[in-house]
């Protein structure tokens, strides 16, 4: 039997833009993925928050199979039944006032659209984001990314973008001028190490933007739908932004981005202002519709809120854990050990987790179907990693 060296093939033919774990995954089922040797891994990373309903959820698989047998694609130059039904369902589960949306292919594209909408709506150009925020790698979204060295590698970028301190309403207010079009923030700052502001920050930010005529954009690429225990993160603080961008797990692994727009802004948008050839295709809309179906039918939001609280308590009991941050199924675990060592130890134990920009913080971005028994396995393995590394 011939063994194919997939890793070497990828190294030979792909640009060296990703650092990869030393495995070739070829199969997934539920909470688990399997490599080319047949080894099983508990997936608490979800392909970076993408496998929201787990791997190959039967409801999603059935919806996609039926759609591919019926109609794979046509552009937005015609109406489509799947797009219509998903649009309707998305409006039904969104916060109040989000009856219109724009479909695209990724989080970066959704953010680009959100920023374009804000600048067009206000006839202003300035954008405020946060020093530790990450919004994508295209030039527009990269210009709003304050985290790390991403922007520095591609200077010059778009001007009129400034940066404030996340969680500080005073810092954001000090940046606002008469030419400020938008403030864009991740409700939960993920790549930065998983940080959440207090309730007052989000509510004061909403009021500040309203008072100053500034469009408030929530970048929910990783948090919606459902990851924080609510369909959209603003519900944690009773805050409704003007525009929401999301992607990642919205279609359970199929490439999709969405920009949701409040009605008073949506009514000002006209033909030709935005476009995306593959956005809202029948197959991805079928997958996205099935994703919401799974979240609702399996009562995942309530499970996420309860189980997450239990996990935070379990993790906080380790003396090697300095802090657990985040909401729902987006958690950062800061430990006394280097994150790369903890990640490697869990990998050796057959558990996949993510890293962050903080050298001592690992991230959990598990499927929304994760149950307590899966986290118990993590806690047990983590205890052994800490014992070995002490």
Please tell me the predicted confidence (pLDDT) of residue 390.
52
Question: Closest Cα partner for 169 from 140, 119, 212?
Answer: 212
- Assigned architecture for domain 6-57+299-389: Alpha-Beta Complex (3.90)
pLDDT digits (tens, 9 = 90+) for 30-49: 999 999 999 999 999 999 99
pLDDT of 2 reads: 65
Domain boundaries, the chain: 6-57+299-389, 58-297
Identify whether 156 is preceded by a cis peptide bond (ω within 30 of 0): yes
Q: Do domains 6-57+299-389 and 58-297 have the same CATH topology?
A: no
Which residue positions in the chain have pLDDT lower than 70? 1-2, 390
Contact 185, 211 (CB under 8 A): no
The contacts found for 193-196 with CB under 8 angstroms, 24 or more apart, are: 193/132, 193/325, 193/332, 193/334, 193/356, 193/357, 193/358, 193/361, 194/325, 194/326, 194/330, 194/331, 194/332, 194/356, 194/361, 194/363, 195/132, 195/166, 195/167, 195/325, 195/332, 196/325, 196/326, 196/327
pLDDT at residue number 150 = 85
Model pTM greater than 0.85? yes
Topology of domain 58-297, CATH: 3.40.640
* Residues whose CB falls within 8 Å of the CB of residue 358, separated by 6 or more in sequence, listed in order: 192, 193, 332, 334, 339
């Amino acid at each position: 039997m011939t063994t194919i060296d997939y890793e070497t093939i990828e190294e030979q033919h792909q640009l060296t833009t990703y650092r990869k774990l030393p495995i070739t995954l070829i199969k997934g089922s539920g909470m688990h993925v399997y490599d080319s040797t047949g080894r099983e891994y508990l997936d608490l990373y979800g392909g970076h928050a993408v496998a929201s309903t787990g791997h190959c959820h039967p409801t999603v698989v059935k919806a996609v199979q039926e759609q591919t047998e019926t109609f794979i694609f046509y552009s937005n130059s015609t109406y489509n039944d799947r797009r219509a039904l998903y649009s309707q369902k998305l409006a039904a589960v969104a916060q109040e006032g989000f009856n219109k949306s724009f479909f695209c292919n990724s989080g970066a594209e959704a953010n680009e659209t959100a920023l374009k909408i804000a600048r067009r709506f206000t006839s202003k150009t300035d954008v405020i984001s946060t020093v530790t925020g990450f919004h994508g790698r295209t030039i527009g979204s990269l210009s709003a990314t304050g985290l790390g060295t991403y922007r520095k590698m591609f200077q010059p970028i778009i001007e009129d973008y400034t940066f404030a301190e996340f969680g500080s309403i005073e810092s954001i207010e000090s940046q606002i001028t008469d030419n400020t079009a938008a403030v864009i923030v991740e409700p939960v700052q993920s790549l930065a190490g998983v940080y959440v502001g207090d309730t007052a920050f989000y509510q004061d930010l909403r009021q500040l933007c309203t008072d100053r005529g500034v469009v408030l954009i929530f970048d929910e690429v990783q948090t919606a739908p459902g990851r924080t225990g609510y369909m959209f993160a603003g519900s944690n603080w009773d805050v409704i932004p003007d525009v929401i961008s999301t992607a990642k797990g919205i279609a359970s692994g199929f490439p999709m981005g969405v920009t949701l727009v409040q009605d008073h802004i949506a009514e000002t948008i006209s033909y030709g202002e935005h476009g995306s050839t593959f956005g809202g295709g029948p197959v991805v809309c079928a997958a996205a519709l099935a994703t919401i179906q799974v979240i609702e039918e399996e009562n995942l939001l309530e499970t996420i809120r309860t189980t997450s609280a239990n996990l935070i308590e379990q993790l906080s009991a380790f003396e090697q854990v300095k802090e657990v941050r985040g909401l729902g199924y987006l958690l950062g675990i800061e430990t006394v050990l280097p994150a790369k060592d903890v990640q490697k130890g869990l990998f050796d134990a057959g558990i996949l987790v993510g890293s962050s920009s903080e050298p001592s913080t690992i991230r959990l971005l598990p499927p929304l179907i994760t149950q307590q028994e899966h986290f118990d396995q993590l806690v047990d393995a983590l205890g052994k990693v800490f014992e070995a590394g002490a």
